[in-house]
Amino acid sequence: MSAVRWLIKCGAAAAIVLIACGFAAVRFGSGLQMPATTTRDGTLITLSRYLREPVPDIVLLGSSITFRLKEEYFATRGLRNLALAGGSPVTGLEIVANQPRLPQYILVEANVVARPTDIALVERAATLNRFSFAPCGRQWPPMSSGFTRR
């Protein structure tokens, strides 16, 4: 088999797997999400969900304290929790502000407002906005895996 034919077959196989995963991600959404195994994983899942779903009426921003508040606790349906465990509400604010539409109410946990913005995460949010057609194994970009604490 010539090297060119080998490369074409190899590339075609890679493209088929990537396209299949892309379609599966669109079709099944977060059902194919790998378990969140680190804080960073959890943050990216929260972020990806916020960007994918319609703009809520109310958004909660904060650190791990607010992160623990489950959305199901609230009677209001149009509420999203964009608190970032280990992160800052300022990062959340920047991400929300960069979206074309804003929620009606933005509730901010004032506990760690002094914590600086996570610029890398804000940039990732911009990337996530551009790449809504994400691979199925992980939300774009690839996330780490391994363990979580029970």
- The pairs formed by 19-24 with CB atoms below 8 angstroms and a separation of 24 or more are 20/136, 21/135, 21/136, 21/137, 22/133, 22/134, 22/135, 22/136, 24/136
Per the rule left: phi > 0, alpha: psi between -120 and 50, beta: everything else, 88 is beta
Please identify, among the stretches 9-17, 58-66, 70-78, 109-117, the one whose residues bind other proteins according to the rule CB under 8 A: 9-17
Which SS3 state, helix, strand or coil, does residue 60 take? strand
Contact call for residue 26 and other proteins (CB under 8 A): no
Per-residue interface string for the shown chain with other proteins, residues 34-73, x marking contact by CB under 8 A: xx-xx-----------------------------------
How far is residue 59's CA from residue 105's CA, in Å, rounded to a whole number?
A: 6
- Measured from the CB atom, the residue of 74 and 131 that comes closer to other proteins is 131
Contact call for residue 142 and other proteins (CB under 8 A): yes
Contact call for residue 136 and other proteins (CB under 8 A): yes
Note the residues at the interface with other proteins (CB under 8 A): 1, 3, 5-7, 9-18, 21, 34-35, 37-38, 135-138, 142, 144-150
